[in-house]
Structure 1
Amino acid sequence: MTVPRTMKAFVLTGHGGPEVLQYHADWPTPEPLPDQILVKVGACGLNNTDINTRSGWYSKSVTDATTGDAYGEVGQEDPSWGGAAIAFPRIQGADAVGRVVALGENADPALMGKRVMIDCWLRDWDDPFNKDKTGYFGSECDGGFAEFSVADYRNVHPVESAMSDAELATFSCSYSTAEGTLSRAQVGDGDTVLVTGASGGVGSALIQLAKRRGARVVCLASENKHEEIARLNPEAILPRAPTDLPSALNDAIGRDTVSVVADVVGGDYFASVIDVLERGGRYTCSGAIAGPMVSLDLRTLYLRDLTFAGSTVLPPHIFADLVSYIEQGEVQPMLAATYPLEQLHQAQASFVEKKHTGNIVVLP
């Protein structure tokens, strides 16, 4: 195809509320460097990283829950996922799916014309397992909230699937995050996993991927979302924050403890989920949407031989594994809604309201 010189794009101009995201109809189309390919973006999913980076929530000066609005004080040295400043202007959007339309001179020619998913994690390909040498697509480089985007050819995976671009765009961030979270906790056959925030993108992915590993899954979610979550066939679905969680578990599954808690919520209910971990249980976390500041009785941690794991940067095989699960039909998309790119403000407002189940996607 003939690549136009300009494109539609949403550009982040600083940290703050939605007003710092500005729409442009004539933003320069990027040109691929020697190791890059140019992707015509078909769809790009929304995720918490986009919202949190825009608002500056990652800064340690912020202790509130994620809201999507501007905070009164945001540290300028650590407002991104990696604890460092990012460069503006920046096109966000990590969950990009599209078709390769141009190649840099070093890129694999077999990629030309292929439909691809972009791995969110940027790596030093001379040292790909070094977590200190990573970046995030749409954070340390421009992402997919635009008609075109460039990516290192080693960071894209061709995908053979009957799913639409919008459906495929629900997977990249949420499902790779979930798979990494479960991998860190070594979840497997015989485990019982308690999933918090089960109606969100990562939560719904955790349900499917934990079941794929042979685990029983118990979900916590608002009751108006239970019908949608039931499509994923968890062992049990409980209210978002039962007053007596051990009793609720016992009534649902015949035991009052679990072997693993997979948490994306944090906040005031943190102590309740820790208290239902069995002796030797594992807590694994990849989010804190209800608030990052929690209370922990260290006696619970050491007297019950618990293991805690945080999960952000993923080993390279996780994304390739996820693409294989998609191609083999082992996971299903949870597409909540689509918006045209021009309505990114409305899409983010809907995302922050958390009234949806699954993932919201924009279509350039």
Structure 2
Amino acid sequence: MTVPETMRAVRIAEHGGPEVLELAEVAVPTPAAGEVLVRVHAVALNNTDLWTREGAYGRPGDPGALSGWRGPIDFPRVQGADVAGRIVAVGTGVDEGLVDRRVVVDPAIYDGEGPDANPVGLMGSERDGGYAEFVTAPAERVHDMTDSPLTDDQLATLPVAYGTALGMIERGQLRRGETALVSGASGGVGVALVQIARARGARVIAISSGSKIDAVREAGAHEVVDRARDIVEQVGAAAPEGIDVALDVVAGDLVGEGLPLLREGGRWVVAGALGGYDVAFDVRRLYLHNARVIGSAMHTPTHFGLLMELARRADIQPLVAATFPLREAAAAQRELARRGHVGKIVLHP
């Protein structure tokens, strides 16, 4: 296709509420050496979009400081980490045979080149993202999904939510036959955790509420406990021998209250703070039982490669809750913040 000179993009020029999202006509980015240009077919929303817009990540020693995912943002910034689309141009040194391949972009900016590198930046925060008609990405970070039976919308749900989920599961060393506890199970990462843990052969106990309980069970949870009631009592009844791995995106009081649920050698993996970042727990429950509390930020290149293999085989079926046109990005983010849905919200540029 002929690449136009300008495109529509949704940017933020400052931290704030949904009103700071602006639809603008901007230049189509030119892929640098080693990069590709992707026409965006679908871009999914994440809590990272909300928190980056709000500047809610804080900084070491100053938790209340306005900050992007890993530090100050270079404004204006195009949001959006979850991109599915087609390559339409390549930069110097990139195989031209990639043009027209259907791809998913790994949005992580890593601290090195190795397969186990850690993410230290994120597309949509530390570099421009996919709330746009076109986006550039390093060629080594695009994964060919041309033959995947999943739709573009489904593919767009994968990078952050499913990448985060698989990173948690891998770092928590969840094995077939073990019991996993999933908090925040109706959200994007939560549904991904349920689906991937179930596909791995684990018994999945999920925490959800109200009308979402049935949907979480349909996503693959063996048991769903109601967060409006005593969670520890319910989980204890559902898993009287204890939990092997807790996959937690809520944190807050749940960590201190839930640690005693772990079996000997259990692992509590944290990748979010929906319930609060200020956590306290009885350290005796940690060292007396050889338990581990593990922090998990997104995924490694190895984890992402494993996720793409799952998607090529359609071993997981991502749930798309709603779609919006790009111009309604603010409305889409408001819908995400209401947390009334199960699955992911997707924008169509």
TM-score normalized with structure 2 length: 0.94
The structural deviation recorded for 1:50 is 1.2
- Aligned pair count reads 347
Once residues 235 and 138 of structure 2 are traced to their aligned partners in structure 1, the CA distance between those partners, rounded to angstroms, is 46
- Identify the match of residue 216 of structure 1 among 203, 207, 213: 203
Which of 182, 185, 191 pairs up with 1:198?
185
Gaps of 5+ in 1: 64-73
Structure 1 residues 125 and 274: alpha-carbon distance in aligned structure 2, compared to 1, 3 A threshold: closer
Structure 2: runs of 5 or more not aligned: none
Alignment match, 1:38: 37
Partner of 1:75: 65
Identity of aligned residues (%): 39
- Report the 3-state secondary structure (helix = DSSP H, G, I; strand = E; otherwise coil) of the residue aligned with 2:77: coil
Cα deviation for residue 305 of structure 1 reads 1.8
CA contact (8 A) 2:160 2:298 kept: no
Instruction: Classify 1:189/1:127 alpha carbon distance in 2 versus 1 (closer, same or farther; 3 Å).
Output: closer
Show the counterpart of 2:148.
161
For residues 276 and 353 of structure 1, the distance between their equivalents in structure 2, rounded to whole angstroms, comes to 30
Give 2:158's aligned amino acid. Answer: F
Aligned-residue offset at 1:277: 1.2
1:72-127: per-residue Cα shift (whole Å, max 9, x none)? xx525xx1222x21211110100000011111121122211011000011236655
Structure 2 counterpart of 1:236, from 223, 226, 232: 223
Task: Look up the match of 1:348.
Answer: 333
Determine the C-alpha separation between the residues in 2 that align with 1:218 and 1:130. 31
Residue equivalent to 2:175: 188
Are residues 1:54 and 2:66 paired? no
Q: In 2, distance between residues paired with 1:237 and 1:143?
A: 35
Counterpart position of 2:8: 8
Q: C-alpha distance in 2, partners of 1:358/1:348?
A: 14
Tell me the SS of whatever aligns to 2:211: helix
Determine helix, strand or coil for the equivalent of 2:78.
coil
1:280 deviates by: 1.7
CA drift of 1:256 comes to: 5.3
Aligned-pair RMSD on alpha carbons?
Answer: 1.8
Report the TM-score when normalising by structure 1: 0.91
- Tell me which residue corresponds to 1:17: 17
Q: Hey, what's the Cα distance between the residues in 1 that align with 2:28 and 2:185? A: 38
Change (3 A) 1:190 1:148: same
Counterpart in the other structure of 2:26: 27
Q: How far 1:129 sits from its partner (Å)?
A: 4.2
Q: 1:284 to 1:105 in 2, by over 3 A?
A: same
- Tell me how far apart the structure 2 counterparts of residues 20 and 244 of structure 1 sit (CA, whole Å): 38
Task: Quote the offset at 1:252 in angstroms.
Answer: 3.2
What SS does the aligned partner of 1:217 have? strand
> Paired residue for 2:165?
178
1:72-111 alignment runs, 5 A limit = 74-76=64-66, 79-82=67-70, 84-111=71-98
Q: What amino acid sits opposite 1:277 in the alignment?
A: L
Check whether the contact 2:165–2:298 (CA below 8 A) recurs between aligned residues. no
Please report how far the alpha carbon of residue 355 of structure 1 lies from its aligned counterpart in structure 2 after TM superposition.
0.4
Check conservation: 1:108, 1:153, Cα contact below 8 A. Answer: no
The residue type equivalent to 2:4 in the other structure is P
SS in 2 for 1:223: coil
1:131 is matched with which residue?
Answer: 118
Shift of the 128–141 alpha-carbon distance from structure 1 to 2, 3 Å rule, reads farther
Residue 315 of structure 1 and its aligned partner are, at CA, apart by 2.0
State how far apart, in whole Å, the 2-side matches of 1:151 and 1:244 are. Answer: 42
- Which amino acid counterpart does residue 10 of structure 2 have in structure 1? F
